[in-house]
Copies of this chain bind each other. A is one copy, B any other.
Amino acid sequence: MATGREIAQLCGVSVATVSRVFNQPETVNGDTRERVLRVAKELDYRPNESARALSTKQSTMIGLVWDTDHRRPGWRHPYLQDLLIGLKSALSAHGYHLLMLATSGDAREVGASLADPVGYVNMTRRHHLGGLVLIDSGSDAEAFGAFAQSGVPCVALDVAVEGPRATYVTSDNAGGARAAVAHLVGLGHSRIATITGPPGNQPSDARLSGYREALRDAGVEPRADYVVAGDFYRASGIAAMQRFLALDEPPTAVFASSDEMAVGALLAARAAGLRVPRDLALVGFDDIEIASVVEPALTTVAQDKPGFGVAAAKAIMAMITGSGPDGPVVLPAQLVVRDSCGARQV
């Protein structure tokens, strides 16, 4: 790799001038600038990022905090790939890279976990990261709060954080849920149950609120036995559905807080001899890939998956370039009507 010094020598200038050509081009004479640029291109010069970061205390990397260790094996992130694509492409446009931080240590004690946010914060300083993107932890609001307070720019996904240099992006979970439940009401249902995510999980809580609002708006009396908590996994959808079916007055419609649980409910309903949507209307949330291929195809609330990545990248870049946090980004959540709700003839 060619260094700045080599270029300087070949051009008969100092290293400072070479550096200026790339960082403050306007301060160097046109001729010399061209000369340096030409030689740089010939030598395929690329400034050494370590040196630059060391000197400027600022790298071109954003850290990704994704703590998978506490995930059970069956867990699928509902939109990881789109998120990463969105993030990567949006960051790329600014010349930034995404660093997936290690979460467990070796002898030298690298590593961090959500249980120890400080570890991550230390890493961002060690690597001079520009900021942190926090994903997949709607249930860890407390830990995320610690990030927000640390002063490093960070944007969280699906969990509200507040801090001087922190913001978040989330879907309009309440609105999406409201639309879903209102749709069921519109189809004539009044016995509408819901399967929530883990209590305390923010998107789940918001979806539950949306469910309640929609019932209230429709003048439907809420019933405690129509609300059971799941954990977003499929198995919990099965269990919840079984509880509903054991009720004296089982619901005629179910809104699940995740597609996985909706699929679980579908399986449980089918196992009990019910036909969906004829005997039971079903709506999920997320619009993951399987939603469109299960039989019947799942009516669900779609999130703007690539939007998360793009919005997160935009927010981070905004904080890096000085303009403070723009405030939370709320992405639209769109009801996608397919077959499981009974609106269509099947």
Q: Mark A94-128, 1 if CB is under 8 A from B, else 0.
A: 11111111111111101100000010001101111
A50 within 8 A of B: yes
The number of chain A residues touching the other chain, given as a range, is: 35 or more
Chain B: minimal CB distance from A332 (Å): 18
Assess the A92–B102 pair: CB atoms within 8 A. yes
Beta-carbon contacts of A52-91 to B below 8 Å, as 1s and 0s? 0110000111001010110000001100110011001101
Within 8 A of B (CB), among A19-68: 22, 44, 46-51, 53-54, 59-61, 64, 66, 68
Contacts of A89 in B (CB 8 A): 68-69, 103-104
Nearest CB in chain B: distance from A274 CB, A: 16
| Inter-subunit contact B98/A100 (CB<8 Å) | yes
Give complex CA distance A95, B92 in Å: 25
Given A127-B49, A295-B295, A102:B110 Cβ within 8 A? no
Q: Which residues of A contact B (CB under 8 A)?
A: 1, 22, 44, 46-51, 53-54, 59-61, 64, 66, 68-69, 76-77, 80-81, 84-85, 88-89, 91-108, 110-111, 118, 122-123, 125-128, 263, 289-290, 293-295
Supplied contacts A92-B102, A92-B104, 16 more A-B pairs, CB within 8 Å: A1-B125, A46-B126, A49-B127, A50-B50, A84-B100, A92-B103, A92-B105, A92-B111, A93-B106, A95-B107, A95-B110, A98-B99, A100-B100, A290-B290, A290-B293, A293-B294
